[in-house]
Amino acid sequence: MLQILLSATFISLLGGMCLIHFRHLHEGFSADHDLGGVQKFHAHPVPRIGGVPIALGLVVGCGFLAWSLNDLKILLILIVALPAFIVGILEDVTKKVGPLPRLLATFAAAALGYFILGAGLQRLDIPLVDSLLSQVWLLSLLLTIVAVGGVAHAVNIIDGYNGLSGVVSIFIFLAMAYVAFKVQDVALMGLSFAMVGAIAGFLFWNFPRGLIFAGDGGAYLVGFMIAEVAVLLVARHPQVSPWFPLLCVIYPVFETLYSIYRKKFLRGMSPGMPDGLHLHMLVYKRLVRWMVGSKDASHLTMRNSLTSPYLWALSSVSVVPAMLFWQHTGVLMVFCALFAASYIYLYRMIIRFRTPRWLVLRRGCRLR
């Protein structure tokens, strides 16, 4: 496992270094030049093809895993993930691939995983629903497609600040590696460590300096791999509650669901339209008051990066109990409900300017 982790980290680190060093050769099409968008919080154009080093790290990590287990079938997951990754990279390069094609690509990848890897959801630990899922394979397929595609899209939603989605994803993969170890599934534990290494190598360049972004290619690849490893854990091991992976990913998933509700029913706009009211954006605008108003690039980058730890803490509130109670569906359900209630309370507290002072990070003063 250490070899898998270190090899994936090194290759991802090296790939990121090469992309940054030779950025003058590709930044014309790879950099994010839109600095004024509603969801843009960086100070200068940055390459958004960080998915490439993440993918390279994953490939090398999976290669070591397949070699150590003498099982080339492990590499099938790389083929299954291709649709989600390729369409994401196309968006990063062309800036012309909309949310729907990207979501459909992850649906296609999830369907491939269902038939090729056996990654299908056939139980939710809800008696009547479980009976239907086990008897009607098409229903199981549809549930799997929606769940996998939804998680991949949700990870992309929270990919807004330096280190945010990367560290949250590492938390999730470590939790799944722990459970894979408990059920003695070496393949899934190795996949989890390969992803931890691939993301860690990328994060060296992304946090806190923001030298490269994961982009849609990286976010969709990471989100898809989270979903696939989670589904395979539940499908292969009856002792793993299906609510364990749900609690692991509940921060990005509930962020997405609440955003859909907020846009559709509270603001009367299309859920696909971007806005500046995601929780991480409110944290940036109203809690991270570090050098607020400064136009200095280093100050803007640091303020961007200081936003992420708030959300790391929020994510850990769900990931830690998921690890502790991975076999206990009833307890996991309660924690899911508690997280949803806590998220709504925190969101409303910030939006109404009722945040406790100790949560507000201040330094410097507003420039006129």
> Is the pLDDT reported for residue 65 higher than 90?
yes
What does the pLDDT read at residue 129? 93
What does the pLDDT read at residue 295? 78
Higher-scoring residue by pLDDT: 367, 323 = 323
Q: List, for residues 311-336, the tens digit of each pLDDT value.
A: 999 999 999 999 999 999 999 999 99
Report the range out of 42-46, 219-223, 363-367 with the highest average pLDDT: 219-223
In a domain, 327, yes or no: no
> Is the pLDDT reported for residue 87 higher than 80?
yes
Higher-scoring residue by pLDDT: 291, 12 = 12
Q: What is the mean pLDDT of the chain?
A: 92
- Tokens describing residue 199: 């993301």
> Greatest CA span in the chain, whole angstroms?
66
What does the pLDDT read at residue 141? 97
What does the pLDDT read at residue 367? 44
Strand 288-290 vs strand 31-32: parallel, antiparallel, or unpaired?
Answer: unpaired
> Is the pLDDT reported for residue 368 higher than 50?
no
What does the pLDDT read at residue 151? 97
> Is the pLDDT reported for residue 366 higher than 70?
no
Q: Which residues of 107-118 are buried (b: 16+ CB within 10 A; e: fewer)?
A: bbbbbbbbeebe
Residues facing 46 on adjacent strands: 32
In a domain, 120, yes or no: yes
Taking the C-alpha atoms of residue 39 and residue 92, their distance in angstroms, rounded to an integer, is: 15
Higher-scoring residue by pLDDT: 150, 290 = 150
Sign, Cα dihedral of 196, 10, 156, 100? negative
In a domain, 228, yes or no: yes
Higher-scoring residue by pLDDT: 27, 141 = 141
Domain that holds residue 87: 2-257
Residue 39 backbone phi and psi in degrees, to 5: -115, 25
In a domain, 360, yes or no: no
Residues 329, 244: contact at Cβ < 8 Å? no
Residues 75, 59: contact at Cβ < 8 Å? no
Taking the C-alpha atoms of residue 289 and residue 211, their distance in angstroms, rounded to an integer, is: 22
> Is the pLDDT reported for residue 43 higher than 60?
no
In a domain, 109, yes or no: yes
Taking the C-alpha atoms of residue 256 and residue 159, their distance in angstroms, rounded to an integer, is: 12
Show contacts of 261-267: CB within 8 Å, 24+ apart.
none
In a domain, 345, yes or no: no
Q: How far is CA 227 from the centre of its chain?
A: 10
pLDDT category of residue 297 using cuts at 50, 70 and 90: confident
3-state SS track over the chain: CHHHHHHHHHHHHHHHHHHHHCHHHHHHHHEECCCCCCCCCCCCCEECCCHHHHHHHHHHHHHHHHHHHCCHHHHHHHHHHHHHHHHHHHHHHHCCCCHHHHHHHHHHHHHHHHHHHCCCCCCCCCHHHHHHHHHCHHHHHHHHHHHHHHHHHHHHHCCCCCCHHHHHHHHHHHHHHHHHHHCCCHHHHHHHHHHHHHHHHHHHHHCCCCCCCCHHHHHHHHHHHHHHHHHHHHHHCCCCCCHHHHHHCHHHHHHHHHHHHHHHHHCCCCCCCCCCCCHHHHHHHHHEEECCCCCCHHHHHHHHHHHHHHHHHHHHHHHHHHHHCCCCHHHHHHHHHHHHHHHHHHHHHHHCCCCCHHHCEEECCCCC
pLDDT category of residue 33 using cuts at 50, 70 and 90: low
What does the pLDDT read at residue 363? 75
Looking at the chain, how many residues does it have?
A: 368
Mean pLDDT of 154-181: 96
Residues 137, 153: contact at Cβ < 8 Å? no
Mean pLDDT of 91-103: 91
Mean pLDDT of 35-64: 81
Residues 65, 4: contact at Cβ < 8 Å? yes
What does the pLDDT read at residue 205? 96
Mean pLDDT of 185-202: 97
What does the pLDDT read at residue 11? 97
Residues 202, 55: contact at Cβ < 8 Å? no
Q: List, for residues 196-234, the tens digit of each pLDDT value.
A: 999 999 999 999 989 999 999 999 999 999 999 999 999
Mean pLDDT of 274-300: 86
> Is the pLDDT reported for residue 46 higher than 60?
yes
pLDDT category of residue 58 using cuts at 50, 70 and 90: very high
Residue 361 backbone phi and psi in degrees, to 5: -95, 120
- The count of domains in the chain is 1
In a domain, 301, yes or no: no
Mean pLDDT of 42-49: 78
